[in-house]
Amino acid sequence: MAHAATMSHPREVYEAPLTPGWGKLMMWFFLCSDAMSFAGLLAAYAAVRMGSPAWPVPAEHLDVPLTAINTFILICSSVTMVKALSAIRRGSRKGLVLWLLGTIVGGSTFLGVQAYEWTHQITHGLSIQGSLFGATFYILTGFHGCHVLSGVIYLSCIAIKAARGGYTAEHNSPVEIAGLYWHFVDLIWILVFTFVYLI
Amino acid sequence: MTHHTHEHAEPNYWMVWAALLVLTLVELWVAKAPMLKAAIIISLVTLALAKAALVAGYFMHLKFERWALILVVLSPLVLSGILYVGLVPDATNPSHWLPPASP
């Protein structure tokens, strides 16, 4: 896998992480602290589940196929994000804007599907105060959803600046930093999907 | 200010995307596979961690970063593991859920 995925295409140049790229380093620090927030929530979820004698089977209450498609949409939006960074590093401003728009559409679609699922669950009686199952479901997916919403707004700001010609092949670190945030949101969802929906 | 550069060939992102898609499909299959519950859980967690590693390694370019940054990023994972291990004994023992009654 490692060799298969490390081939061909143009060369990219990266700044050293612990020297001049302070913006990037600070984003990594933020992501580490945010990862701890999610770890706390997931650990609490695991503790609650392990301590409950009869935890419901998630697949019997949640729409797993729909959420699997939503997971796929978020993964696709991560690909469009790396293609956006790749485009501007080759000097393609048009490519940057188009791939960024694709990422924003992917993130917005994810939020739309999640809003649909929440609506469905609420109308079928699953509430945040009614059971631990409902509380953990809404808190975990809601906390992540807030991150996706923030990411869509963040990427929209980057896209507006990109459309105005704010980034070049030499100056594009804000795009890379926004990308780190977006991929983190994708990474966290991979874990939330597994723990909340599949297990 | 001295800028050090770290050059590498651009990864084939579509290969990573395909791997993530395949792993997601495998996850969906494993979730309903006729196996022991423990085997299903271990398999799903392993698959999820593999997917997370692909995203972090290739999309977030962690695979191409310096070791110093990789260590910074791995530190919360270690702390998360400690957090989880610390919670398990109490989570699995209902008699630990409430404080002991005062004499």
- Please indicate, yes or no, if residue B102 is contained in any of the structural domains: no
Contacts of A51 in chain B (CB under 8 A): 91-92, 94, 97
Residues B71 and B50 in one domain: no
Fill in the amino acid letter for A161.
K
Number of domains in chain B: 2
Residues B41, B81, single domain; the answer is: no
Same domain, B44 and B71: no
**pLDDT at residue A169 tops 90:** yes
pLDDT tens for each residue of B75-96:
888 888 888 888 777 777 767 7
Q: Do B13 and A198 touch (CB under 8 A)?
A: no
**Residue B71 and residue B54 share a domain:** no
Helix, strand, coil shares of chain B, percent, nearest 5, are 70, 5, 25
Domains and CATH numbers, chain A: 22-52+63-198 (1.20.120.80)
Q: Are residues B35 and B74 in the same domain?
A: no
Q: Please report the pLDDT score of residue A21 as a whole number.
A: 79
The model's pTM is 0.87
Residues of chain B contacting residue A10, judged by C-beta atoms under 8 Å apart:
10
Does residue B4 lie within any of the structural domains? Answer: no
Q: Is residue B97 part of a domain?
A: no
What is the residue range of B80's domain? 66-92
Find, among A159, A155, A37, A33, the residue nearest to A95 by Cα: A159
Tell me which chain A residue has its CA closest to the CA of residue B87: A47
Percent of chain A with pLDDT over 70: 90
In whole angstroms, give the CA distance from residue A18 to residue B71: 12
Chain A and chain B share a number of CB contacts under 8 A equal to 175
Residues B31 and B71 in one domain: no
Confirm whether B86 is domain-assigned: yes
